[in-house]
Amino acid sequence: MAIKPNDFFNELTGHGVEFFAGVPDSLLKEFCLCIDDSVSGDQHIITANEGNAVAMATGHYLSLKSLPLVYMQNSGLGNAVNPLLSLCDLDVYSIPMLVMIGWRGEPGVKDEPQHIKQGKVQLELLDALDIPYEIISKDDDQFATKISNAVKTAKNESRPTVLLIKKGTFKKYDNAIQKSDNHRMNREEALEIILENLNDNTIIVSTTGKTSREIFEIREKRGQSHEQDFLTVGSMGHCSSIALGIALSKPNREVVCIDGDGAMLMHLGSLTTIASLRPKNFRHILMNNEVHESVGGQNTAAKNVDMSAIVKAVGACKMFKAETPAELKTNITEFMTSAGPSFFEIKIRPGSRADLGRPTVKPIDNKENFMKFLDK
């Protein structure tokens, strides 16, 4: 039987864990909602990337000597390896912390292509990093003992210790609050307008999560090919850099990056590269719903910061903004026809179709078709 998020949370707090930081994951969604509800805003921090969470947890431990918990999807381990090995490792500052990891792509469990390799090498990766771990699943009546063991290892040996969480471990969290801002479009409505207004030669690079899934489905619905679209199914936060690489290599083609706020924040530094290089054929659209909608709707820092102001401050480009379909329709042509680099922030409300599918074209085929399209 799946574990109640509250039971898991209470077990952790029973061991004195009071500080939580991480980037949300769909497998940990229910637990993340529970922390959000149970802990004050300065004790639960949704960080821009997973490495930031490890570093913040380190700061917490150094200040209060209390054991923090960092959470992430296993794709985020790559973002966290540097601080885990060069800050927290036994050979450096030896920092105790619990690291809760959602195990996407576990062998034998059906998952999307971008999770397969990470899932397959998950245990070997942890072994290679010399990070001890406990594996927890929905059938685990021993989860309290496993938490207790991990806490002991982390504290007694003063090192990061992983709680590796299998798919389906958590029960639904009952108190989940559904937030929405109804006067705005949702992402799919905005994407429909964008795709309608881009010409057939435009190159699109779209971000991780539901944005790419919706673009795929809109093309299917319209009977269009997918050759124009590079779907960044994994590698969250890097779609603007992929698009930038293409824009520089294909200066005569128009390139549009369709980003998310969580993804853009994850590797915000790429904005400074775009601003330094200033490619005229590069256009950046931000679908800003202020949450990580694809993995459960947890807030991003975009709730509190002005994303357009950040882009403007690095000196990027021509700026556009829309909150309504009419504003989007009015501005999209000028956005596409005036010289780039330009930035279009579209404020949308969270939400997507319950029956939203996943791309049925394999990434390798998406790549082949896309590369042929780039050569046209």
Ligand X SMILES: Cc1ncc(C[n+]2csc(CCOP(=O)(O)OP(=O)(O)O)c2C)c(N)n1
Q: Give the nearest distance from C-beta 221 to ligand X in angstroms.
A: 19
Which residue, 67 or 286, is less far from ligand X as judged by CB?
286
Interstrand relation of 298-299 and 255-260 (parallel, antiparallel or unpaired): unpaired
Q: Give the nearest distance from C-beta 13 to ligand X in angstroms.
A: 24
Which residue, 20 or 373, is less far from ligand X as judged by CB?
20
* Residue the block writes with tokens 């930081």: 21
d(CA 371, CA 308): 31
Report CA torsion sign: 349, 354, 360, 364. positive
Which residue, 151 or 322, is less far from ligand X as judged by CB?
322
Q: Give the nearest distance from C-beta 149 to ligand X in angstroms.
A: 26
Q: Give the nearest distance from C-beta 290 to ligand X in angstroms.
A: 8
d(CA 228, CA 213): 14
132: tokens are: 């001890």
Which residue, 25 or 227, is less far from ligand X as judged by CB?
25
Q: Give the nearest distance from C-beta 66 to ligand X in angstroms.
A: 26
Q: Give the nearest distance from C-beta 62 to ligand X in angstroms.
A: 25
271: tokens are: 């904005």
d(CA 200, CA 198): 7
Q: Give the nearest distance from C-beta 184 to ligand X in angstroms.
A: 13
Which residue, 294 or 342, is less far from ligand X as judged by CB?
294
Residue 45: its H or E element: strand 44-46
Which residue, 151 or 257, is less far from ligand X as judged by CB?
257
Q: Give the nearest distance from C-beta 232 to ligand X in angstroms.
A: 10
257 strand-pairing partners: 205, 284
124: tokens are: 């070997």
Which residue, 96 or 105, is less far from ligand X as judged by CB?
105
Pure H helices in the chain: 5-14, 29-38, 50-64, 77-83, 113-120, 122-129, 143-157, 187-197, 210-221, 239-249, 261-266, 270-277, 307-313, 325-337, 363-375
Which residue, 72 or 151, is less far from ligand X as judged by CB?
72
Is the CB of residue 31 less than 8 Å from the CB of residue 172? no
| Sites of contact with ligand X (CB under 6 A) | 23-25, 73, 75-76, 79, 207-211, 236, 260-263, 289, 291-295, 300
Which residue, 18 or 189, is less far from ligand X as judged by CB?
189
Q: Which residue is nearest to ligand X (CB)?
A: 260
Burial 170-206 (b: 16+ CB within 10 A, else e): bbebeebeeeeeeebbbbbbbbbbbbeebeeebbbbb
310: tokens are: 């950040």
Q: Give the nearest distance from C-beta 208 to ligand X in angstroms.
A: 5
d(CA 188, CA 207): 14
Q: Is 141 exposed, middle or buried (0-12, 13-18, 19+ CB in 10 A)?
A: exposed
